[in-house]
Amino acid sequence: MLKAKVCVLVSGGGTNLQAIIDAVKSGIINSAEVSVVVASNPSAYALERAKNNGIPTEVVHKKAMPSQEAFEQAIIDIIEKYEIDFIVLAGFMCILSENFTKRYPERIINVHPSLIPSFCGKGFYGLKVHEAALSYGVKVTGATVHFVNEIPDGGRIIMQKAVDIEDTDTPETLQKRVMENAEWIILPQSVEKVAQSIIELKK
């Protein structure tokens, strides 16, 4: 069966990558395969998760690159080498320039740990998003999977899932609940959805 080839870009722990790997194993993802995992730093634990599952890995060390252009070109070279159909940002903590995003219209997806358009855009990443939600006092948050364009967290929304905030929440407990109850569910489902539409176009 024809599968869409996915490149997953990561920077840290890689629990969202793990959710994708598990979803491929369980059949929730049936139309895509993870062809390569690319990390923006060499100590990302996500690299171990990929290796443990026999997935090729590459490191494009952002801090060691002379420019944003060189950083992005190195990623483009990998995407071409592996003949990638679409790119998944799974805890990828680097902003991609318009030069990069324009090259792959509706072929890059991102998971963000809030209900966009709340608590998103430049400066809102990782735990900071949950700190902002708690300090604002919202009672419901969640996660969003969206296409990536030139506006940070501004592309078309693919899926969202809401998560209740509890009075006793800390940024850490909230992050964990949003991951477990939203991100790890809607990211694999979105990967399958996008993969199916790409395969349909190829037929």
Cβ distance to ligand GAR smaller for residue 61 or 81: 61
Length of the chain: 203
Q: Is residue 142 part of the contact set for ligand GAR (CB under 6 A)?
A: no
Candidates 61, 112, 130, 146; catalytic one: 112
Q: Is residue 155 part of the contact set for ligand GAR (CB under 6 A)?
A: no
User: Cα separation of 140 and 121, whole Å?
Assistant: 19
Asked if residues 145 and 171 have their Cβ atoms less than 8 Å apart, the reply is: no
Cβ distance to ligand GAR smaller for residue 169 or 199: 169
Provide the minimum distance between the beta carbon of 90 and ligand GAR in the complex, in angstroms, as a whole number: 5
Q: Is residue 192 part of the contact set for ligand GAR (CB under 6 A)?
A: no
Candidates 179, 185, 186, 194; binder of ligand GAR (CB under 6 A) is: 179
Candidates 100, 125, 149, 186; binder of ligand GAR (CB under 6 A) is: 125
Q: Name the residue number minimizing CB distance to ligand GAR.
A: 91
- 61 among known catalytic residues: no
Q: What is the DSSP string of the chain?
A: ---EEEEEEE-S--HHHHHHHHHHHHTS--SEEEEEEEESSTT-THHHHHHHTT--EEE--GGGSS-HHHHHHHHHHHHHHTT-SEEEESS--SPPPHHHHTTSTT-EEEEESS-TTSS-STT--THHHHHHHHHHT-SEEEEEEEE--SSTT-SPEEEEEEEEPPTT--HHHHHHHHIIIIIHHHHHHHHHHHHHHHHHHH-
In order of 29, 55, 74, the CA distances from 2 in angstroms are: 13, 18, 27
Cβ distance to ligand GAR smaller for residue 146 or 193: 146
Q: Is residue 113 part of the contact set for ligand GAR (CB under 6 A)?
A: yes
Q: Is residue 15 part of the contact set for ligand GAR (CB under 6 A)?
A: yes
Cβ distance to ligand GAR smaller for residue 77 or 121: 121
Q: Is residue 56 part of the contact set for ligand GAR (CB under 6 A)?
A: no
**Residues between 88 and 107 that touch ligand GAR (CB under 6 A):** 90-91
Q: Which residues bind ligand GAR (CB under 6 A)?
A: 12-16, 90-91, 111-113, 125-126, 129, 179, 183
Instruction: Point out the residues that are catalytic.
Output: 112
